[in-house]
Amino acid sequence: MQNIFRSKKIRRRILITAGLVFFGMQLFNPSLKNPPVVSGHDLMATNPPPPEVAALLHEACYDCHSNETRWPWYAHVAPVSWWIVSHMKEGREGLNFSEWPHADANTVGDELGSIGHQVQTRKMPLPSYTWLGMHPEAKLTDEQRGRILKWTESAAP
């Protein structure tokens, strides 16, 4: 088996095949277009938190939990793009600040309670999002977590 990879011809064919597969995968990249942001429906328009909390939410949460995702360069490269788009879709389905339920006080309370719980138990931001220092702005300190928690508790109806 080792002799197979010693042949320059075989190694060359393997590399060419791997390259063709990689470039072929790029033809199946998902769209990175964000859904439109409807004026007046965002959390910041309907239930604005204090400015320091708003800044934390924008830095640590909005990429996955809003229609304002800032797509990093590697989101354009398959197969990573497939994983990231799936991740963003799940994040928006779980909580979307761009589609804040401002008309329903019970739902607002539930969402705020969920945000507080996720931040307090360190489930959010996801470790995979802050992994390898790719998004250092999303790493929350204990003090920042406390600010978000205090806001969710005081803003709940």
More confident residue, 109 or 4: 109
More confident residue, 64 or 24: 64
Residues 98, 38: contact at Cβ < 8 Å? yes
pLDDT of residue 132: 65
Please report, to the nearest 10 degrees, the dihedral formed by the alpha carbons of residues 20, 25, 28, 32 taken in order.
Answer: -130
In percent, how much of the chain has pLDDT > 70? 94
pLDDT of residue 7: 81
**Count of beta carbons in the 10 Å neighbourhood of residue 65:** 23
Domain locations along the chain:
1-30, 31-155
Exposed/middle/buried for residue 18 (C-beta within 10 Å: 0-12, 13-18, 19+) = exposed
Chain mean pLDDT for the chain? 88
The two three-digit tokens of residue 14, written as one number: 């393997």
The two three-digit tokens of residue 140, written as one number: 């929350």
pLDDT tier at 133, thresholds 50, 70, 90: low
What phi, psi does 120 have (nearest 5°)?
-65, -40
Separation between Cα atoms, residue 88 and residue 34, nearest integer Å: 10
